[in-house]
Chains A and B, each alone.
Chain A
Amino acid sequence: MTKEKQLVDLLLARTRAGTTSWEPTAEEDEFVTSVGGNSIWIRTVEPRNASDNEPDVVLNVRDGDGRQVFSLYNGEGIADLDFQTMRALHEAARRSALKIDQIMEAILKDLRGGQ
């Protein structure tokens, strides 16, 4: 398994488990997290192929000094990494950054309490 695939899979698993948390940035639909002294950014962009219904996903890794060290675009160029996994990571990051699960739980708790 390539290092890129391992990185995306582990980030996805840790984000879903709640052990890695993301923050929204000033850019719409872009989220950032800090891992091992580096920053990982994920965002959606207009699809290159205009006929695509879904936006493309870009993941950038910056080192401790803020320099961009590598980037993944839809997982292209990585044999075992596909677009769906990148999309799933972006969605998990969005849920983490916007604290969707906590908000849902609070609403559900309130609704159940109000019954």
Chain B
Amino acid sequence: MDLSWLWQALSNNWGSMASVLGLGVSIATFLVAKRAKTAAEDAKREARRRNLSEDLQDARTKSEQAGLFINETKWDIVFVRSQEIASICSLVLKRWSDELSEASKEQIRLARDEASSISRVATRASVRQPSESQLRSLTAAQRKLNELLSSELGESLKVIERSGQPR
């Protein structure tokens, strides 16, 4: 087979051929870099979500402890725990503002409000023992707080699990 025409074409247009080849290499490099960037961003987003889940987990643990200390009428510890929960909620709202949906923000805000109302009642309770009905309101608020934090923690873990699945 006579391939002289090919040789001729290559020698006449080597500049254009090299350009086409260069363009192909550039596109391939761009695609690889883009995939690497997306993977890095996904990993970063997942790491942030994990941090968010850890904070919510911490708040929920403190809320469970607050429940135990309410039962044991250890008001000073209830006050400290509820203040800590309110602070964690405020921190979560500020730090993960971009990661949280509006509904989640609302739930966390409500959790912070419940925690701050628990701390107010605990402050008074350390001076004067609360009545039966006051205790019922306090216990219900602690249960609600736990519910809100658990629900948000679940939501956050769901997002992490989804992001870990192959696309």
A contacts, CB < 8 Å to B: 23-28, 30, 32, 34, 37, 39, 41, 62, 64-66
Contacts and interface: CB of A to CB of B under 8 A. Distances in A.
A26 B137 contact: yes
Contacts of A37: 105, 109
Contacts of A64: 93, 109
A24 B121 CA distance: 13
B42 interface: no
A25 B93 contact: no
Contacts of B109: 34, 37, 39, 64
Chain B interface residue bracket vs A: 20 to 34
Nearest to A62: B113
Contacts of B121: 26-27
Interface stretch (B14-22, B46-54, B140-148): B140-148
Contacts of A28: 133-134, 137
Nearest to B134: A28
B138 interface: yes
A24 B110 CA distance: 10
Interface string B20-45: 00000000000000000000000000
25 contacts: A23-B110, A23-B113, A23-B114, A23-B144, A25-B113, A25-B117, A25-B137, A26-B114, A26-B118, A26-B137, A26-B140, A26-B141, A27-B121, A28-B134, A32-B110, A32-B117, A34-B106, A34-B109, A37-B105, A39-B113, A64-B93, A64-B109, A65-B90, A66-B112, A66-B113
